[in-house]
Structure 1
Amino acid sequence: MRKVFLLSMLLCCLVGIATAQTRRLTGQVVNNENGSGLPSASIMVKGASQAAVSDQAGKFAISIPSGNVVLVVSSVGFANKEITVTNQTSLTINLNPDSKALDEVVVVGYGEKKKKDVTGAMSSLQSKDIVRSNPTLAAKAIQGQVAGATVTKASNRPGAPYAITIRGENTINNSTAPLVVIDGLMGGDINNINPNDIQSMDVLKDASSTAIYGARGANGVVIITTKKGVSGKPKVSYDGYAGIKYLAHIPKLRTTDQFYKLNYTDRIAAGQTGTVFTIAEQAKIDAHETTDWVDLATDPGMQASHNISVSGGSENTTYRFSGGYLNEEGNVLYTGFKRYNLNAGLDSKISDRIKAGFTSYVTYSDQNWGSQESLRGVFRARPTGTPYYKDLANPSQNGDIDVNGLAIWMGINDKQVPNPLSDIDPTTSKLQTKTINAIVNGYVDINIIKGLNFRTSLSASHLGQEIGDWRGMWSKSQIGAKPRTQLDNKKTQSYTIDNILTYKTDLGKHKLDFTALQSAFYQRDEITTIAVKDLPYNSYWYALQTGTITAQGSSLVERTLSSYMGRVNYAYDDKYLLTITGRADGASQLAEGNKWAFFPSVAAGWRISSEKFMQNQSLVNNLKLRVSYGEVGNSTVNPYSTQASLLNTGYDFDGVAATGFAPLNLANKDLKWERSKELNFGLDFSILKSRLSGSIEVYDRNTVDLILSQKIPNLTGFSQVTANVGKIQNKGIELTLNSVNIAKQDFKWTTTLTFTKNDNKLLELYGDGQLVDKGNKLFVGYPIRGNFDYKFDGIWQLVDSNAAKVYKQVPGSVRVVDQNGDGQISSTNAIDDRTYLGTQLPNWLMGMTNRFNYKNFDFSFFIYYRNGVQYSNSTLSGTFGDIGNRYNSLASLDYWTKDNPSNTYWSPFVANPYRSAINYQDASFLRISDFTLGYTLPQSLKTKLKMSNARIYAQVSNPFIFSKYTGFDPEFNSAIYQDDVPSVLVTMGLNISF
């Protein structure tokens, strides 16, 4: 017993001694210039393993050894500081803004460069900027956050891709998408990568920046760097959220009473025959009962994302592994998007001279878009329709059919719009895309001698896609016929080998950086298609042998690109900067003699703020003037544009039908690259002790040798040939501003604003002096993507009866402008009253993010404005159709009658040959979105829970949108085929790290 007692006392003493050896220190890390707390600052005990990270208010708590210790404190954008702690239990640590903040490294293509040394036009987004709005697709993060970039979604369907253009559209027939480089792999798909795995996105905009990519850089370059491991003990992080998508911003449709007034009361008043309603419809009318098809076909959708990563490593080897899952349900029933991704990366210092590593990324997605017609049918179905067969008053009157309990004709004598609930049913219609994308990049980096490095890398990607389109017996396209289906299988494989030699030397005030590159790229695209009809049962796109083949085919496209590049960066006294780049590309797409092209660029910078005459002032912290010129090419040309091709065709052979081949197009061995030449002026600045910083860009880009189909004399046997015959100009201004509006100890408010103004103009067409191509809506002197039609001039009124007769019109008809005043509306080549109305390209864009921090709370929201886009409203002209055809339509359509002399919408009871003119609408819009409120746990609590970070938040996306556009979403023009309704997303999320 005595031994036990003595042992217990000894243990207590040891514990006491151990406890006495450490003590708790609390404090706050602040900005020495304004006293505001610095979040995410690192506090480490020098020579020991103890470390802590400050919270949103800059506060921290750390266990330190007893006695005197030295703390090393650091924060991004601030100078590191070492502090000796004696017997203090609490202290405030002041950090000074670091003049070396400009030494932040950005990716510029085949290398990195300090931000202060950048001479071209580029923008960078870091991880926190990318995940700010919880985007399901990474491209969304660029919208409004990168000046010069236009990002537009294709539809509201879950998983629908975003399109990106940088500094306007440089081509007419070819792709305007920028080159995407993912961890060195050229040609990646930005929509296939999980935003949570991205460390940074660097957007290269001017030709001097993109010339390093030569024939692939004409549309700009987006360089994506995925997250890498950091040496230290393993760090486990989780980022996830869950939420609900609610229907929002949906146009109101007519009620049964409004529909009856339109199609019966007002028709009778106009002297026409009123619509004859069936017994089933009349029962609805008498009961004033409206069928809400939108409510029946939609539901709130769940959306959830879960991402977990593990990273760490030793001094010589670092690693990072991550996995992610996204589930986005559509608001239209039975639609959704699921994505699974795995990411692995390893970097190792094998010896003092050799480094090696790899990154691999695999994504699998399943996109179920349901029926192409379902949503369109929902908005075209009459409010007098009866959804379910059992509720029909007299089903035999219109030959209605019971299909799984649904009334296929809804008790209506109209066979154009079947019951939309039937099309929504996945046993009736289904459109599904399954995609697997794998990317692997491996490298070896060898330091040959001091300053001289050789790096070789191999990147490979595989994209496999299966697209199935099933139309059952009671889908709109079949209606009683046996099912049909189509199956497309697509496979794309690409490989890139880069050998890079770099040499850096520092000769006092002179700094030189040489880069030489040899690169080889190969891509193979395979597509197989089969379409089958008369399938005996619902087999989707399987058991195709049971039906009748209606179409089948396959294709193979291969392309290669061989490149050599050289780049020289020179800096004198860190004030005068010069970059010269030249790249030669040889591409397989073009014919001999035109395969190779050389793309040069030169850029210069002057760091004015480093001059002696700027030293004795406190207003300007940084001021750099840049100018650049570069030439780049467009390599998205069809690989076989230069060759003649054959068409499979039938012909008569001695009275017997035979199959053979005929020439499809004329070869053009002179076809060459589209080429862009760009001059850029830029100014980077930081003033008021970095309270306001940003950049201004002014550019003028001319793209020559546009590839278009040019008409040729019929005596050649062909009507047209692909040739280099056009010229486009894009010029504009870009502005990026970062401001610290308020910076107090417990409160901080910052704003980031981007502004983009781009003027697009077609300068030359076909090279023969032709100024107008009405068929393709191309007009020299105007932007491309133009609208060409009659100009709406209101509605003919009763007082205008005599004037309307001159144009063979009557009151209630659409009035258009007689451009030449000859008393007639014409559309011939000689006399044409149609005119250029506007463009589908934006005039200017603005994005603004506001962030607020109060102690441990953070709040932010995002504003996005787009101006100048004009659409021929596809929803108005297609989905809601011609209200004269008795389809449901917008309740807001204020149509003309004698008792309601509207000047905005025509009468459905008179002839309207020019009614398409009313569809052209301004699609400018203001969206206020991404309201986010977060709370970071106090440092003391995180320490107790052994967490390095813990934050919870709530977010509301897309709650407010303001626009005169009457379609579903002014961001894109849709007749809501394969579409979903707009929605508001409300989520709760969690970010934790151990």
Structure 2
Amino acid sequence: MQKTFFLILALTICGCLHAQQQISGTVSGQDQLGLIGVYVIVSPGGGGTATDFDGSYTVTASPGDTLVFSFTGYTTQRIPVGNKTQIDVTLSENVNMIDEVVVIGYGVAKKEDLVSSVASVKGEALANQPVSRIDQALQGRATGVSVTSNNGAPGSGGTTIRIRGTNSVNGNNNPLFVVDGFIAGTDFDLNSLNVNDVESIEVLKDATALSIYGTRGASGVILITTKTGKDVKEQKPVVSFNQYYTTQSVANQVELLGGEEYANYVNEAGQFVPGPDGTGATDPTLPLIFDDPANVANTNWLDLVTQNGQIFNTDLSIRGNSKSANYYVSLNRFDQEGVVKGSGFQRHALRTNMDFKISDVFTTGVRLNLSRNTRENNKVNYGQIISSVLPTRTVFDEDGLYTAVNPVSGTAQRNPVADYNLRVDNRLDNNLISNIYVQVEPLAGLVIKSTLGAELSSFKTNVYQPGALPERQLDNAGGYASLATNQKNDLLNENTINYTRNFNKNRVSLLGGFSVQRTEIESFSAQAERYPNDVVQFNNLSFGSDPDTYQIGSGYQLRTFASYFARLDYGFDSKYLLTVTGRRDGSSVFETGNKYAFFPSVGAAWNAHREPFLVNSRLVSRLKLKASLGEVGEQGVNPYNSVASFNNQNAYFNETLLNAVIIGSLPSRDLTWETTRQLDLGLELGLWQDRIFFEFDYYRKTTEDLLLARDLPGTAGGSQLQNVGSIRNEGIEIALRSFNVSKSNFTWETQLTLSTNQNEVLELGGDDFIDLRQPTNQGGSGVRLIPGQPAPVFVGAVYLGTYRSAEEIEADGQTGRAFIGSPRYEDMDGNGVINEEDFVVIGSPQPDLYGGIRNTFTMGNFNLDIFFQGSLGNDVYNGVIQTGLFGRGDQTLLPAVVDRYIPGVNEDSDIPRAGTSTSLFNPNSTAGIEDGSFIRLKNLSLRYNLPVGNMGIDNVFRSLSVYATGNNLLLFTDFSFGDPEVSNYGSGLEQGVATGQYPYARSFTLGLDVTF
């Protein structure tokens, strides 16, 4: 370390002695007037200044340096210093925001020429984030995009992405992912991509942007574009090395009641009796469950199973460019150890992007990504620890063996410490995604392109529960093994022709194309039980000695698409823009006669800043009004729904076990596409040469012909899919970017995104509601779709507190069923019985507002990036409250029960009296609804760019930076139970259900970024 320090010190001194000279000059616009506040940066040293009131500047630089002149709204210029002492520059207009090139479906477009609503996130905003998936770094950075982290497990697909709300019930609400032009589907595993390979992410949101993808675009499209070597200006390759180390700890750990207080509660509950008048009493003669509460065990199971996790990430890339080719090749190793013991994720990835110019008219290239991921699945049942692993239970018994039973109920129960030490649960993924293209330009403006893409992916899961697990030892069950494999082969061929021509003031671009895709999935699973020993585990299922527990399953699925699509873009004088798009899709999942559908859209925009009354405005630099209307579709069903399915079932006949075949489901006939019609109105406004840039969008979209399962009448039983429902989403999106301060040694830039989405279920085919999660007793959560309500809503009883007197019990008609101090609910129908007929809407997980704000500061060679993300107005159903506050003797409790109703001591409490809830119907209720609003300091990053020019090492290093990053540093919320950003098992329609998910991590990162 000392040698390194003195080496850096010596290099710094040498850099100070490096020969430098003073350069002066003026910077003007095309009108020859001086420009104020133009950045003049010395590269690669990093120093610089800004022009004064008449456009003059003075800097100090070395002959080998380059001066970079940049100003919002103008083209950046780079001029080598050489022996010059006077450098005057004329900058030409290049609308910084509006002329930004963004990726769209089957092409690119300047933002000024864009009619569609597209949100763009550059890769630099995602780089060096300690996350394994791109979507985990997207939260709050794009309007109209809601990204909810379902859990913090390493390598999990733990995010729910919704673009402009929920469109479907049985269909897919996930966006379509398109990676370098390859349509990867809605279930693409983002773990296979390296975040630092990403050049940009575009989110397509309105009908004119989405209809080019037809039936695939109803829930939005996310275009992921990876890096190439096109931006390298020199013949010499650019080598980049980036490495960071991250330490993680549990953020916002939940708290549970300790051992002594728990024992007191259970003893109190055990001595509760109805009493002579039936309203509740304490019988001190009953035996205590815990004789000495002060000396019971006080095991903090959450502390035992959690740890400080860590991440090691290494990126190495090389990119280059020449007249005939450019390339980008990268290697990535990502290794994460989770904050829950026994969990982790590791990725090894190789990316190769190449383009070759064979001749003036012929170009070819390839985009290829190969990854191998290993995931150690969470072996610990975190939700069980929170709900039922008691603090009075010890890890080991008196003989030094793992404990195996709940000390109150006496039933067998998993031991969390034994779980992470003994269980085996892992998954191995291999993924190859490639897209090869050939492009011909026989005439000026005419481009003919053909692509052949493939995704070949497979995974294997291995699970082994050894006979040494304490709960298996109780039953002498031996070992249990299971394995599952899945193979996906996805092939895509697309052929397009694009003609662009400019004449007079007209610009015309016409795109036409044909696409075919074939997706084949095969799966296999098997399991065996009663292994005599734990040597071979899942490697030999025949070791399972119980033939009755052998189970084998397999599956096959084939889905094909055939599509024609076209798009016309027309612009007149860069003022008036028109886009017309259409796609005809055919899918194999529907019956003959319903296989094909056509999805059109039209959009128009007016660049008012090009009009004479604004063209010379010093205030308004950009003003665009735009509108679009169109349709997109969603299949909403899996293959083979139009045919009956059969299941095997064992049956006894004449005392002989036979294999029988029964009907699994009846065919769903005459199914067709779910169709979403969307209207979008937008405004783009730039002020003071776009120093302030504002975007506004209003959208309204209605999805009809929802595919819903309808119960069949008569003796057939079961259900059948039908096109009978509809749902509507409506919202506003606001994006703001401002350059607040632009000085030579200090800059400050702000980016703000705000989004709202109000959705409503319009029709459910005549049904009053559809239960997504059946309302249940004691800890269940009712999640329901109801016409006229948001999708979804929480339903349950209205909790009124506790009964305070026998008179209240009698008035409610609850005599004999309720006790003084027991839970009290609103009897909506007044029949004296609390049941599901008394349930009402008690909340919704849909937020009123969500978004993020990013502030970026540059101070000399320092860069500071601060990013807040938040959500307001959403509810969370805390399922643990039903047991943790209402109390059951064999389950854990929350610390708040210390303030419970106690006769003669605390009779004003709304927390039920110990022992009064265990025999009652305790539904999910308003007691479990909490405000899930939050504001999170999502990311804080500080980077120092070493002045390699001043240090005299610019002949080796192009750039050299060190950085420190903190993620999930602060959380401001009223939610009482860990993190409010939850979704039940990752289900998009069951967001906001907290049942004890894998905890989120707070992380701190140190990194080194070097370019040679």
Q: Give the TM-score, by structure 1 length.
A: 0.88
Q: Is the 8 A contact 2:447 2:497 kept in 1?
A: yes
Q: Within 5 A, what are the aligned runs for 1:367-378?
A: 367-373=375-381, 376-377=384-385
RMSD after superposition:
3.1
Structure 2 CA distance, aligned partners of 1:936 and 1:275? 73
Structure 1 CA distance, aligned partners of 2:286 and 2:572? 83
Q: Deviations over 1:196-229 (max 9, x none)?
A: 0110111001122110001111110000011111
Structure 1, 503-512 or 787-796: larger mean CA deviation: 787-796
Q: Within 5 A, what are the aligned runs for 1:438-477?
A: 438-475=432-469
Per the alignment, do residues 698 and 791 of structure 1 end up closer, same or farther by CA in structure 2, a change over 3 Å counting? same
Q: Within 5 A, what are the aligned runs for 1:283-298?
A: 285-287=293-295, 290-298=298-306
Alpha-carbon deviation of 1:966?
Answer: 2.9
Per the alignment, do residues 714 and 651 of structure 1 end up closer, same or farther by CA in structure 2, a change over 3 Å counting? farther
Equivalent in the alignment of 1:797: 804
Per the alignment, do residues 647 and 613 of structure 1 end up closer, same or farther by CA in structure 2, a change over 3 Å counting? same
Q: Is the 8 A contact 1:78 1:101 kept in 2?
A: no
Q: For residue 446 of structure 1, what is the amino acid of its counterpart?
A: V
Q: For residue 707 of structure 2, what is the amino acid of its counterpart?
A: I
Q: Give the TM-score, by structure 2 length.
A: 0.87
Equivalent in the alignment of 1:227: 227
Equivalent in the alignment of 1:889: 893
Q: For residue 437 of structure 2, what is the amino acid of its counterpart?
A: Y
Equivalent in the alignment of 1:714: 714
Structure 1 CA distance, aligned partners of 2:307 and 2:680? 50
Structure 2 CA distance, aligned partners of 1:274 and 1:633? 69
Q: Deviations over 1:825-846 (max 9, x none)?
A: 4547xxx221122223333212
Matching residue within 941, 945, 966 for 1:936: 945
Q: Deviations over 1:461-496 (max 9, x none)?
A: 111111122222354763532121221101111011
Structure 1 CA distance, aligned partners of 2:624 and 2:537? 61
Gaps of 5+ in 2: 1-18, 29-33, 51-57, 273-280, 775-782, 985-992
Equivalent in the alignment of 1:315: 323
Structure 1 CA distance, aligned partners of 2:23 and 2:237? 25
Q: Is the 8 A contact 2:760 2:789 kept in 1?
A: yes
Equivalent in the alignment of 2:6: none
Gaps of 5+ in 1: 1-21, 44-51, 393-400
Per the alignment, do residues 849 and 540 of structure 1 end up closer, same or farther by CA in structure 2, a change over 3 Å counting? farther
Q: Deviations over 1:701-752 (max 9, x none)?
A: 000110111122124x243211111001011111111122222222222211
Structure 1 CA distance, aligned partners of 2:949 and 2:550? 70
Structure 2 CA distance, aligned partners of 1:725 and 1:649? 33
Q: Within 5 A, what are the aligned runs for 1:135-174?
A: 135-161=131-157, 162-174=159-171
Q: Is the 8 A contact 2:581 2:600 kept in 1?
A: yes
Per the alignment, do residues 100 and 36 of structure 1 end up closer, same or farther by CA in structure 2, a change over 3 Å counting? closer
Equivalent in the alignment of 2:259: 256
Alpha-carbon deviation of 1:289?
Answer: 6.5
Q: Within 5 A, what are the aligned runs for 1:44-83?
A: 52=44, 54=46, 64=63, 78-81=74-77
Q: Within 5 A, what are the aligned runs for 1:813-824?
A: 813-820=822-829, 822=830, 824=832
Q: Within 5 A, what are the aligned runs for 1:863-874?
A: 863-874=868-879
Q: Secondary structure at the match of 1:290?
A: coil
Q: Does 1:383 align with 2:391?
A: yes
Q: Is the 8 A contact 1:726 1:764 kept in 2?
A: yes
Q: Secondary structure at the match of 1:263?
A: helix
Alpha-carbon deviation of 1:656?
Answer: 5.7
Q: Is the 8 A contact 2:269 2:889 kept in 1?
A: no
Equivalent in the alignment of 2:566: 566
Matching residue within 125, 129, 132 for 1:129: 125
Alpha-carbon deviation of 1:647?
Answer: 2.3
Q: Is the 8 A contact 1:120 1:208 kept in 2?
A: yes
Per the alignment, do residues 71 and 287 of structure 1 end up closer, same or farther by CA in structure 2, a change over 3 Å counting? closer
Per the alignment, do residues 903 and 751 of structure 1 end up closer, same or farther by CA in structure 2, a change over 3 Å counting? farther
Q: Is the 8 A contact 1:29 1:37 kept in 2?
A: no
Per the alignment, do residues 101 and 174 of structure 1 end up closer, same or farther by CA in structure 2, a change over 3 Å counting? closer
Q: Is the 8 A contact 1:876 1:966 kept in 2?
A: no
Equivalent in the alignment of 2:679: 679
Equivalent in the alignment of 1:46: none
Equivalent in the alignment of 2:410: 414
Equivalent in the alignment of 1:777: 784
Q: Secondary structure at the match of 1:883?
A: coil
Alpha-carbon deviation of 1:81?
Answer: 4.0
Per the alignment, do residues 521 and 30 of structure 1 end up closer, same or farther by CA in structure 2, a change over 3 Å counting? farther
Alpha-carbon deviation of 1:650?
Answer: 4.6
Q: Is the 8 A contact 1:205 1:220 kept in 2?
A: yes
Q: Secondary structure at the match of 1:959?
A: strand
Equivalent in the alignment of 1:806: 813
Q: Is the 8 A contact 2:982 2:994 kept in 1?
A: no
Structure 2 CA distance, aligned partners of 1:456 and 1:800? 81
Equivalent in the alignment of 2:583: 583
Alpha-carbon deviation of 1:667?
Answer: 1.8
Alpha-carbon deviation of 1:261?
Answer: 2.7
Alpha-carbon deviation of 1:136?
Answer: 2.1
Q: For residue 346 of structure 1, what is the amino acid of its counterpart?
A: M
Q: Deviations over 1:228-266 (max 9, x none)?
A: 113421111112210211233112222233223322357
Structure 2 CA distance, aligned partners of 1:964 and 1:122? 34
Q: For residue 256 of structure 2, what is the amino acid of its counterpart?
A: L
Q: Secondary structure at the match of 1:664?
A: strand
Structure 1 CA distance, aligned partners of 2:525 and 2:557? 15
Per the alignment, do residues 29 and 237 of structure 1 end up closer, same or farther by CA in structure 2, a change over 3 Å counting? farther
Q: Does 1:959 align with 2:954?
A: no
Structure 2 CA distance, aligned partners of 1:274 and 1:210? 72
Percent of paired sites with the same residue = 27
Q: Is the 8 A contact 2:701 2:730 kept in 1?
A: yes
Q: For residue 772 of structure 1, what is the amino acid of its counterpart?
A: F
Q: Secondary structure at the match of 2:418?
A: helix
Q: Is the 8 A contact 2:148 2:983 kept in 1?
A: no
Q: Within 5 A, what are the aligned runs for 1:828-847?
A: 832-847=837-852
Alpha-carbon deviation of 1:72?
Answer: 7.7
Q: Secondary structure at the match of 1:202?
A: strand
Q: For residue 442 of structure 1, what is the amino acid of its counterpart?
A: I
Structure 1, 939-948 or 667-676: larger mean CA deviation: 939-948
Q: Deviations over 1:134-161 (max 9, x none)?
A: 4321011221001111111221211122
Structure 2 CA distance, aligned partners of 1:849 and 1:923? 22
Q: Deviations over 1:31-88 (max 9, x none)?
A: 986637467x8x6xxxxxxxx47469789986548xxx99785688632447696965
Structure 1 CA distance, aligned partners of 2:81 and 2:176? 52
Per the alignment, do residues 477 and 647 of structure 1 end up closer, same or farther by CA in structure 2, a change over 3 Å counting? farther
Structure 1 CA distance, aligned partners of 2:311 and 2:192? 18
Per the alignment, do residues 651 and 483 of structure 1 end up closer, same or farther by CA in structure 2, a change over 3 Å counting? closer
Structure 1 CA distance, aligned partners of 2:296 and 2:78? 79
Q: Is the 8 A contact 1:309 1:323 kept in 2?
A: yes
Q: For residue 102 of structure 2, what is the amino acid of its counterpart?
A: V
Per the alignment, do residues 76 and 430 of structure 1 end up closer, same or farther by CA in structure 2, a change over 3 Å counting? farther
Alpha-carbon deviation of 1:276?
Answer: 6.4
Per the alignment, do residues 144 and 654 of structure 1 end up closer, same or farther by CA in structure 2, a change over 3 Å counting? same
Q: Within 5 A, what are the aligned runs for 1:608-647?
A: 608-647=608-647
Total equivalences in the alignment: 936
Structure 2 CA distance, aligned partners of 1:276 and 1:55? 80
Q: Is the 8 A contact 2:623 2:684 kept in 1?
A: yes
Q: Is the 8 A contact 1:359 1:442 kept in 2?
A: yes
Structure 2 CA distance, aligned partners of 1:223 and 1:60? 42
Q: Within 5 A, what are the aligned runs for 1:973-992?
A: 973=983, 979-992=997-1010
Alpha-carbon deviation of 1:556?
Answer: 0.6
Structure 2 CA distance, aligned partners of 1:638 and 1:309? 40
Structure 2 CA distance, aligned partners of 1:905 and 1:79? 66
Per the alignment, do residues 38 and 843 of structure 1 end up closer, same or farther by CA in structure 2, a change over 3 Å counting? farther
Q: Deviations over 1:311-365 (max 9, x none)?
A: 1131211111101111111122221111111101111110010011101101111
Structure 2 CA distance, aligned partners of 1:76 and 1:432? 51
Q: Secondary structure at the match of 1:541?
A: helix
Alpha-carbon deviation of 1:861?
Answer: 1.8
Q: For residue 108 of structure 2, what is the amino acid of its counterpart?
A: E
Equivalent in the alignment of 1:47: none
Equivalent in the alignment of 1:325: 333
Matching residue within 171, 175, 195 for 2:172: 175
Q: For residue 504 of structure 1, what is the amino acid of its counterpart?
A: T
Q: Is the 8 A contact 2:961 2:1008 kept in 1?
A: yes
